[in-house]
């Protein structure tokens, strides 16, 4: 869905940093418990300083849902996160996204129409009862609803392993490896995983599957660019989507870091390409990365492959560690970066004036199906839940 943010009035665009901080502080004080401000880990510091809670997309949505005193949830994140918060909060709560252009290019790589086409093409050659759709949290509400309707689940980067095991009917305590893979292949179960192929691939390879067990569905090509055999044979169909930030990290980045820090540790997000992930000491979600840094021995050098605002914040908060981004030409998440103090001030001052600006609303039919999939994700759990 494409929404356009209208330019802000000069009161906000011409204000100095101090003036904006004064506006935000005054509006927040006036609104008191009526508002809660959520800051995703990838937000810039000038925004993050105002957050009542910091976290990943799912953690923040849960936090919002638990704040029943807050009438307004100002989500400093991107559209799919604000949608998830609207789905999980009470009908009386309103979710606002300070800049409507803060979308997510990864989430936009799959939409309901193209996923429905893939599903029906798959249905021509395999029994859909054996296929479970799994969507990453970074997807539209419409796709969360699709998996809710088709016995599937949502996953986050923190519980993708548990979600894929669940989809394949593999108990959580079964050791990963070739035996697990053989057992699943023999069962004929399949997973359609969207929209991030890298999270899908890193997850299924860590369970013991190989490149023979997956094909990539390219939504831009007829039949996903696949033959009938390609649809029938593999256990996994991975959607051809990627995160433009995490896809930047390369093998050369890891090797350069290791050359500069021979005893250093490397941790990368599972949205990074598999050839990068295999070189890392640890692969994990934003919360996993934060916990890894918090537990590191003083003096450690850590190279991180994730969004740069989080990396810089961790470096500032841990002066006893050497923390660097693996990519020296660091690239922020440009859509997250749209949320800035002028937009935050504009939304908060609107609330003070009785005007709800940039409300994100998911229609109730979609929300009901999406809630089913989100509830399944919570039931499935996983290491970080
Ligand atoms: O779901 C999130 O918040 C994202 C974008 C990443 C993560 O690992 O938490």
Residue 57 in contact with ligand 1 by CB distance below 6 A: yes
pLDDT tens digits, 34-84: 999 999 999 999 999 999 999 998 889 889 888 888 999 999 999 999 999
pLDDT at 1: 47
Residue 286 in contact with ligand 1 by CB distance below 6 A: yes
pLDDT tens digits, 12-36: 999 999 999 999 999 999 999 999 9
| Contact in structure between 333 and 103 (CB atoms under 8 Å) | no
Residue 300 in contact with ligand 1 by CB distance below 6 A: no
Alpha carbon of 56 to ligand 1 centroid (Å): 5
Q: To test ligand 1's pocket by mutation, which of 77, 84, 138, 270 has the most ligand atoms within 8 angstroms of CB? A: 138
Residue 285 in contact with ligand 1 by CB distance below 6 A: yes
**Superfamily in which the 107-243+368-380 domain is placed by CATH:** NadA-like (3.40.50.10800)
Q: Rounded distance, CA 288 to CA 280, Å? A: 14
C-alpha triplet 371, 376, 377: angle, nearest 5°: 95
pLDDT band at 209; cut points 50, 70, 90: very high
Pairing between strand 190-194 and 153-155? Answer: unpaired
List the residue whose alpha carbon is closest to atom 1 of ligand 1. 57
**10-103+335-354 — its CATH code?**
3.40.50.10800
Q: How far is CA 324 from CA 253, 260, 296, 319, in A?
A: 11, 11, 14, 12
Instruction: Name the residue ranges covered by the structural domains of the chain.
Output: 10-103+335-354, 107-243+368-380, 246-325
Closest C-alpha among 375, 310, 363, 343 to residue 96: 343
Percent of the chain exceeding pLDDT 70 equals 98
pLDDT tens digits, 305-322: 999 999 999 999 999 999
Q: Look over the chain and give the mean of its residue pLDDT values, rounded to a whole number.
A: 95
Residue 153 in contact with ligand 1 by CB distance below 6 A: no
Torsion angles phi and psi, residue 61, rounded to 5? -65, -40
pLDDT band at 133; cut points 50, 70, 90: very high
Q: Is the pTM of this model over 0.75?
A: yes
Closest C-alpha among 121, 74, 87, 47 to residue 336: 47
Closest C-alpha among 142, 81, 79 to residue 113: 142
Assigned CATH class of 246-325: alpha beta
The average pLDDT across 171-200 equals: 96
CATH topology identical between 10-103+335-354 and 107-243+368-380: yes
3-state SS class at 3? coil
Alpha carbon of 127 to ligand 1 centroid (Å): 33
pLDDT tens digits, 149-158: 999 999 999 9
Q: How far is CA 342 from CA 7, 15, 73, 313, in A?
A: 11, 8, 17, 21
Residue 38 in contact with ligand 1 by CB distance below 6 A: no
Residue recorded with tokens 């508002």: 35
């Amino acid at each position: 869905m494409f929404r356009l943010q209208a330019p802000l009035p000069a009161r906000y665009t011409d204000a100095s940093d101090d003036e904006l901080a004064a506006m935000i502080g005054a509006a927040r004080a006036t609104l008191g418990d009526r508002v809660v401000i959520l800051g995703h880990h990838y937000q810039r510091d000038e925004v993050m300083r105002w957050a009542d809670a910091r976290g990943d997309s799912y953690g923040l949505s849960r936090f919002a849902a638990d704040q029943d005193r807050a009438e307004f949830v100002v989500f400093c994140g991107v559209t799919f996160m604000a949608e998830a918060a609207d789905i999980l909060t009470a009908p009386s709560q309103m979710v606002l996204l300070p800049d409507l252009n803060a979308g997510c290019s990864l989430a936009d790589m799959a939409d309901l129409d193209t996923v429905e086409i893939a599903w029906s093409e798959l249905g021509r050659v395999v029994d859909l009862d054996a296929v479970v759709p799994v969507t990453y949290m970074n997807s539209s509400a419409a796709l969360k609803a699709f998996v809710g309707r088709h016995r599937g689940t949502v996953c986050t980067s923190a519980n993708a392993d548990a979600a894929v095991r669940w989809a394949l009917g593999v108990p959580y305590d079964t050791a990963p490896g070739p035996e697990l893979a053989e057992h699943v292949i023999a069962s004929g179960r399949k997973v359609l995983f969207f929209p991030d192929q890298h999270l899908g691939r890193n997850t299924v390879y860590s369970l013991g599957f190989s490149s023979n067990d997956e094909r990539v569905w390219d939504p831009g090509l007829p039949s996903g660019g696949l033959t009938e055999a390609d649809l029938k044979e593999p256990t996994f169909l991975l959607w051809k989507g990627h995160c433009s930030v995490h896809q930047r990290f390369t093998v050369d980045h890891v090797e350069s870091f290791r050359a500069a820090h021979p005893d250093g540790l490397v941790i990368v997000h599972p949205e990074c390409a598999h050839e990068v992930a295999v070189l890392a000491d640890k692969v994990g979600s934003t919360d996993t990365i934060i916990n890894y840094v918090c537990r590191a021995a003083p003096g450690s050098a850590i190279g991180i492959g994730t969004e740069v605002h989080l990396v810089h914040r961790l470096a500032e908060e841990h002066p006893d560690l050497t923390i660097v981004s693996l990519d020296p030409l660091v690239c922020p998440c440009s859509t997250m970066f749209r949320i800035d103090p002028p937009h935050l001030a504009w939304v908060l001052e609107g609330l003070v004036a009785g005007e709800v600006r940039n409300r994100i609303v998911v229609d109730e039919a979609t929300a009901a199906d999406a809630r089913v999939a989100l509830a399944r994700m919570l039931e499935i759990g996983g290491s970080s839940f």
